[in-house]
Amino acid sequence: MENKETYWSENLRIIFICLAIWFVVSFGFGLLLVEPLNAIRLGGYKLGFWFAQQGSIYAFLALVFWYSAKMNTLDKKYDVGS
Amino acid sequence: MNRHLKVAFMVAPILLVLGWGGADFYEESKANETRFIQLEQEGQCDIINKNCVLKSGEFKVNVFDKDGVTVVNSTFPLDTATLFLVDENDKMTTYQLGMQLTPYYWSRETPLRQLVSNKGEGHKLRLLAQIKGGQYISEFYTQTAK
């Protein structure tokens, strides 16, 4: 029982980290901080613009795989079978 | 593909749509905030001889007189346009312009032609052009060149 609760709380922690990164990358870099980021150039593009157009999508994809890897590690740690 | 990866791939589009909706809402509310932008005179301004352009970035306003009717023509559609004739005592007379066939053209009969019909005569004016999300303001001086 205790194991289940710890598993669930760690699971929630991973989800909240994912949501925080999702918010920072999409709203933070793409909208709220777009002006200061636009002062930096990445491959000729303004960084704020790049995040709004492409960067956030790459970050979301990376997040999907990171989440999956973290959850697999968690499953193994708590011996939760698929 | 394990179950966590499947779940993540199912949730990701929902978050993407939520993000898109949120960003759209944010941009919309930001665009509705009223901002004041100053229009600068582009070279000499001579309304009578159809040579008066005010600009700010890509937004340009051409002010000219056509048989006693003052016309304002802009590069973006306007919501309202108001012209103020300012006399030597800095007193303003307001002329709310009416839309012509399109919101790119606004006009109204004003006494401007009588005031600056002769060469060398000038007059101070102010313009307030309102578009969605901003008000363009300008104080300029027309002088008849010929």
* B2 pLDDT higher than 90: no
Quote the pLDDT of residue A10.
93
Give dist(CA B13, CA B7) in Å, integer. Answer: 11
| B15–A contact, CB cutoff 8 A | yes
Higher-pLDDT residue of B132 and B106 is: B106
Strand B80-86 and strand B122-131: the pairing is antiparallel
A82 located within any domain: no
Domain count, chain A: 1
CATH 2.60.40 fits B35-143, yes or no: yes
* Residue in A52, A63, A82 closest to B2 by CB: A82
A58 located within any domain: yes
* Residue in B2, B3, B16 closest to A60 by CB: B16
Q: Which amino acid is at A55?
A: G
Chain B hits for A72, CB-CB cut-off 8 Å, are 2, 4
Q: Copy the structure tokens of residue A8.
A: 């669930």
pLDDT average, residue stretch B108-130 = 92
Tell me which of A7, A19, A35, A64 to substitute to probe the interface with B (most B C-beta atoms closer than 10 Å). Answer: A64
Quote the pLDDT of residue B100.
92
Cβ atoms within 10 Å, residue B27: 11
Chain B hits for A75, CB-CB cut-off 8 Å, are 4
CB contact under 8 A, B27 and A26: no
User: What digits encode the pLDDT tens for the residues B46-86?
Assistant: 999 999 999 998 899 999 999 999 999 999 999 999 999 99
Chain A hits for B26, CB-CB cut-off 8 Å, are 27, 31
ipTM: 0.77
Could you tell me the end-to-end alpha-carbon distance of chain B, in angstroms, rounded to an integer? 80
Give dist(CA A52, CA A49) in Å, integer. Answer: 5
pTM of the predicted protein model = 0.56
* A1 pLDDT higher than 70: no
β strands within chain B, DSSP E = 36-38, 40-41, 53-56, 59-66, 69-74, 80-86, 92-96, 98-99, 105-109, 122-131, 134-143
Mean pLDDT computed over every residue of chain B: 90
| B18–A contact, CB cutoff 8 A | no
Quote the pLDDT of residue A69.
93
Domain boundary assignment for chain B: 1-31, 35-143
Q: Which residue, B109, B105, B113, is CA-closest to B48?
A: B113
User: What digits encode the pLDDT tens for the residues A12-55?
Assistant: 999 999 999 999 988 898 888 888 998 998 888 888 888 888 88
Q: How far is CA B118 from the centre of its chain?
A: 29
A24 located within any domain: yes
Categorize the per-residue pLDDT at B34 as very low, low, confident or very high, splitting at 50, 70 and 90: confident
Chain A hits for B27, CB-CB cut-off 8 Å, are 31
Residue A68 is part of which domain span?
Answer: 2-76
* Residue in B5, B12, B22 closest to A60 by CB: B12
Cβ atoms within 10 Å, residue B101: 6
* A82 pLDDT higher than 60: no
A81 located within any domain: no
Strand B53-56 and strand B40-41: the pairing is antiparallel
DSSP state letter for B146: -
